[in-house]
Amino acid sequence: MKRFLCALLAAALTLTSAAAFATQLTGAEALGLVDTEQTTGLSGNYPTLQLGSRDGDDSAAYVVMLQNRLQELGYLTSAADGQYGQMTESAVLAFQETNGLTPTGIADDSTQSILYSTAAKQAPVDTANQDSDAIRLQQKLIVWGFMVGGADGVVGDATKTAVAEFKEYIYASNAALYAAYATPEPTPEPTMAPDAQPVAIDVPLNETVIASESGFDGEITEDIMKFVDGEYPFTIYRQLVQTGDSGAEVWRVQRRLRALGYLYKPDGSYGALTENALKYFQKKNGLQETGAADQATQEKLFSSDALKAEEYVFPYKIGISLDEQRVYVYQWDGSGYNDQIKKFKCSTGMEGYATPTGTYQSGGKVTSGEWYYFADYNCYAKYAYRIVGGILFHSVLYNSNKQGPTNSSVRALGRKASHGCVRLAVDDAKWIFENCPEGTTVIIR
C-alpha cells in the first residue's frame, strides 16, 4: 500500500507540473525568475552584461531576456536582437536611475535581480513630448487596424507609417471622396531669377520621409484629424474578409487581431492562423464562430469595446521543465491549450550554461534544411528551431562528418548537458520543426 501511495503521489506531482504550462503567465511570474510571493529583488547570479555583450549561437540568451524585460517596463523601444548596443545601455542606465541603483549602464547581478522582480519600477511617462491630438489619432488608428502598439502621444515612425497607410486606404477606396476632403495645395511662389537665388542650406543626410507605397506621406493634417473626430465619415465595413484573401482589408483585420492579442504576426495573407485567431475572437465576443470577418464581426473587431485575448492563438504551445528535463506540447482546442498531446525527454543547459527561464514567442526555423552547424564545437544537429536569441530546440549531436547521432548526446537526454539549447531526440526535434510556426509560445520554467 505504501509503495502504491508513493507512486500515486509522484504521478500527481508530474501532472501538476505539466499542467502549469497550460495557462499563460504574466509579468515577473511569466519570466519564471521570481517567486510569485516575492516582492523584492532576488539574487539570481546573473552574468554581467554590458556594451558589446551578445547572444551567441549556442550560449545562454541573457541579452535577449534583458531586452525583453526592458521593453516590458517601457525603457527600451528598439528590437530585442541579442546585441547589447548603445540603446540597450541607455535603457539599463535609465532603469538604474529610476530604481535607485548606481547608474553605470552595466547590467550586473544586482541590476538584473531587481529588473526581474516585482519591485522593478516602470519607466516614467515622458509627458513633455505627449500630444493630446496625437493620442486621439493613435487610438483611432489602432482601433481601425492601421497601427499596432500603444497610444503614447509621441509621433514616431510607427505613427507616421500608419498615417501614410490610412491616407492611401482612404484614397484607394474613394478617390473622389478623398479629393473632396483634401486640403488644397498652396499656390507656389514665382520662380526667382538664377542670380537672385539665396544660398542653399544643407539638409542632414539622415533626414527621412515616411511614405506609403503610393507616395502618401505620414504628415498629420487637419483633414486626417477630421476623420478622427468624426467630422468626415470612416466606413468600418467594406467587404467580407476570409481565408484566401489578401490586401489592405486583410492587413486591417490582422493588425487589429494583433493589437488585441489574438494573432502574433500580421502578414497580409489570410491563412489558417488568422482564421483560428478570428474564431477565438468571435467566441470571446459572442459572435458566430465562422472564421470569416463578416460585417457583424468587423463592427465588433474595429470597436473600442472589443474583448482582448489572454494569449496568442497557435496550433500548439510548448512548455519546458528544467527540473524534469521534459518538453510538454499542448494543442489549441478553440478556447485554450488544454490538451497535452506530447511529452519529450530533453537536455537543457548544464551548470554555467543555464537555459534561461521565461515566456517567449519563438523565432521559428533557423534553417530551411535539416542540418545546422555549430562552428564553435565543429559538430552538427538536425532541425534547429529558435526559441529566443541563441537558445534553440535541436536534435542530439552529430560529429563533423554528420555521422551519428553521438552516443554521448543520446545518453544525456533526461539530464542537463547542453550549452543552453534544448536537445531532443531526432524525431522529436523534427516534429517541432515541422509543426510549430514562428511565434509559437514557449515557456521555460
Catalytic residue list: 394, 421
Record the cell numbers describing residue 228, joined without a space: 478622427
Q: Is the peptide bond before 437 cis (omega within 30 degrees of 0)?
A: no
Round to whole Å and give the CA distance between 23 and 212: 40
Spell out the residues 6+ positions from residue 354 whose beta carbon is closer than 8 angstroms to its own. Answer: 60, 420
In sequence order, the 6+-apart residues with CB closer than 8 A to the CB of 412 are 347, 423
Q: Got the DSSP string for 264-289?
A: S---SB--HHHHHHHHHHHHHTT---
Contact call for residues 347 and 418 (beta carbons, < 8 A): yes
Q: How close are the terminal C-alpha atoms of the chain, in Å?
A: 33
**Amino acid type, 69:** R
**Which strands make up the sheet holding 379-382, listed edge to edge?**
371-374, 379-382, 397-398
Q: Is 68 exposed, middle or buried (0-12, 13-18, 19+ CB in 10 A)?
A: buried
What is the C-alpha to C-alpha distance for residues 280 and 399, in angstroms, rounded to an integer? Answer: 45
Grid cell at residue 146? 492601421
The secondary structure of 189-232, three-state, reads CCCCCHHHCCCCCCCCCCCCCCECCCCCECCCCHHHHHHHCCCC
The H-or-E segment that residue 136 falls in is helix 132-143
266 near 258, Cβ under 8 Å?
Answer: yes
As a whole number of angstroms, the distance between CA 412 and CA 423 comes to: 9
- Residue 345 bridge partners (DSSP): 326
Task: Show the cell assigned to 438.
Answer: 514562428
The single-letter code of the amino acid at 157 is D
What is the rounded distance in angstroms from the CA atom of residue 355 to the CA atom of residue 319? Answer: 13
Cell numbers linked to 211 = 511614405
The one-letter amino acid at 71: Q
The single residue listed with the C-alpha cell 555549430 is 374
By the 8 A CB rule, do 427 and 342 touch?
no
